[in-house]
Amino acid sequence: MITTTTVKVGEQPTGDPMEVPVIHIQGQGNGPRVYIQANIHGAEVQGNAVIYQLLNLFRQYPPQGDVVMVPQANPLGINQKSGEFTLGRFDPVTGINWNRQYHFDHSMLEPFTQDYLDAEESEIRDAFRTRLKQQLEARMASPWGLTCGQHLALNLQKMAVEADIVLDLHTGPISAQHLYVPEYARKRARHFHIPLNILIPSDFSGAMDEASFSPWWQLSQHFALHGRELPVMVDAFTIELGSQEHLDVAGARQDAESICNYLQHQGLWLEHYVQPEPSAMQACYLKDYKAFFSPAGGQVEYLAKLNQQLPAGEPLATLWHFNALVGESSHSRTITLPCDCIPVLHFASASVQQGTELYKVLTNTFRL
Ligand SMILES: [Zn+2]
């Protein structure tokens, strides 16, 4: 059974509620519970199309576990227009990234571990999830109030915390498809068949994926310190689907199928229904996911192709200075990088200040 509802995530100055749409698909049996959201950053709309395609797949192949999906997860971000562009990455009031406002307080880990050291895994899972929910409730009931971004984040997190698998759908600026992979989940991440992968540490710094998996990873670390092996019971990933301000609903079917391939390996269906295209999956560690900042202001021709090997010394971009077309000084320069890399994304505008993040590239790559 599929139902839709709305959840209130804030209030406008007029007093009207800000709401997000929530799609709930009731599972047929005992599969993992899944939470998927899209478009927390206002310009990153492709995830909404992927949710649409996932819904079509879930109608065709009813899942075993419950699935909750939230398209257009940020009613403020998507409406944050400036001219023809959508800003939508930062709360304009506080300046804080919309995806850095989720909550986890690790101080409960040690006392919890001591209380549940000898408990069954299922008992640990249920009790820990209850504690996480209590933390969120306490945070939301703060007598000092919350910012608008925190209201939004905590209301979304209240839904995500119920899930065993959390997928947060994003895009880059002008970008190839890529995946953030917590190191503990490296093997399972291969089932997404995403060509470019960044292996991230498993600690918490406020993003939805970290807020979802990191408490469980930290719990397993605490149990290990006390001599007990405990699996990390929740998986969470940030999937970067391509470029912002871009919608390709037919193409989203392929993204939906690669997500379903991962989900079927996690037991969301009793059989395997989708067969994604095989792809060569490259990865690097977060420390080797390098940003290149423009050495000068000017206009940029982006030359390096995304998701293609770029040898050291080959042209990345040309930087033009049209104020110096006549005279002694040079009016253009070719930009190269000192090592081999695979470009993942580049800045969306051709006009840049000195210090603009021009490209992000994988270096020291290996097969996932
Ligand atoms: Zn994003």
Which of left, alpha, beta for 15 (phi over 0: left; psi -120 to 50: alpha)?
left
**Strand, helix or coil for residue 264:** helix
Whole-number Å distance, alpha carbon 280 to ligand 1 midpoint, is: 24
312: tokens are 């050291």
Determine what percent of the chain falls in helix, strand and coil, rounding each to the nearest 5. 30, 30, 40
Cα–Cα distance measured from residue 25 to residue 175, given in angstroms and rounded to the nearest whole number: 31
Q: Render the burial of 31-45: b for 16+ CB within 10 Å, e for the rest.
A: bbbbbbbbbbbbbbb
Write the CATH number for 296.
2.40.50.100
Pair 193, 263 in one domain: yes
Cα–Cα distance measured from residue 268 to residue 148, given in angstroms and rounded to the nearest whole number: 35
Structural domain including 302 reads 287-367
Pair 15, 147 in one domain: yes
Q: Which residue, of 231, 254, 279, is where some domain finishes? A: 279
pLDDT per residue as tens, the chain (368 positions): 999 999 999 999 999 999 999 999 999 999 999 999 999 999 999 999 999 999 999 999 999 999 999 999 999 999 999 999 999 999 999 999 999 999 999 999 999 999 999 999 999 999 999 999 999 999 999 999 999 999 999 999 999 999 999 999 999 999 999 999 999 999 999 999 999 999 999 888 899 999 999 999 999 999 999 999 999 999 999 999 999 999 999 999 999 999 999 999 999 999 999 888 778 899 999 999 999 999 999 999 999 999 999 999 999 999 999 987 777 778 899 999 999 999 999 999 999 999 999 999 999 999 99
Which parts of 190-267 fold into alpha helices (H)?
208-225, 252-265
Pair 339, 230 in one domain: no
Pair 49, 147 in one domain: yes
The partner residues of 335 in beta bridges, in order of sequence, read 317
Do 146 and 93 meet the contact criterion of CB atoms below 8 Å apart? no
Pair 188, 298 in one domain: no
Task: Return the amino acid letter for 306.
Answer: L
Give the list of residues 6+ apart from residue 153 with CB closer than 8 angstroms, or none. 98, 101, 102, 103, 208
Cα–Cα distance measured from residue 358 to residue 168, given in angstroms and rounded to the nearest whole number: 25
Whole-number Å distance, alpha carbon 240 to ligand 1 midpoint, is: 7
Whole-number Å distance, alpha carbon 170 to ligand 1 midpoint, is: 4
Do 128 and 219 meet the contact criterion of CB atoms below 8 Å apart? yes
As residues whose CB is below 5 A from the ion ligand 1, the structure lists 41, 44, 170
Q: Which residue, of 279, 295, 311, is where some domain finishes? A: 279
Pair 254, 304 in one domain: no
User: Quick count: other Cβ atoms within 10 Å of Cβ 239?
Assistant: 25
Whole-number Å distance, alpha carbon 31 to ligand 1 midpoint, is: 28
Give the list of residues 6+ apart from residue 68 with CB closer than 8 angstroms, or none. 22, 23, 24, 25, 33, 34, 35, 36, 159, 162, 163
Cα–Cα distance measured from residue 345 to residue 361, given in angstroms and rounded to the nearest whole number: 7
Whole-number Å distance, alpha carbon 44 to ligand 1 midpoint, is: 6
Q: Which residue, of 279, 308, 335, is where some domain finishes? A: 279
Task: Return the amino acid letter for 102.
Answer: Y
Write the CATH number for 78.
3.40.630.10
Pair 275, 292 in one domain: no
When computed from its CA atoms, the radius of gyration of the chain, rounded to whole angstroms, is 22
Give the number of domains in the chain.
2
Residue whose entry in the numeric block shows the structure tokens 């995403």:
194
Pair 252, 310 in one domain: no
Pair 258, 322 in one domain: no
Q: In what order do the strands lie in the sheet with 289-293?
A: 174-175, 342-346, 357-362, 289-293
Whole-number Å distance, alpha carbon 113 to ligand 1 midpoint, is: 34
Pair 43, 185 in one domain: yes
Pair 230, 322 in one domain: no
Whole-number Å distance, alpha carbon 330 to ligand 1 midpoint, is: 37
Give the distance, in angstroms, between the CA of residue 282 and the centroid of all CA atoms in the same chain: 18
Whole-number Å distance, alpha carbon 291 to ligand 1 midpoint, is: 16
pLDDT number for residue 279: 82
Pair 174, 210 in one domain: yes
What are the Cα distances from residue 212, in Å, to 74, 157, 164? 18, 8, 9
The partner residues of 310 in beta bridges, in order of sequence, read 341
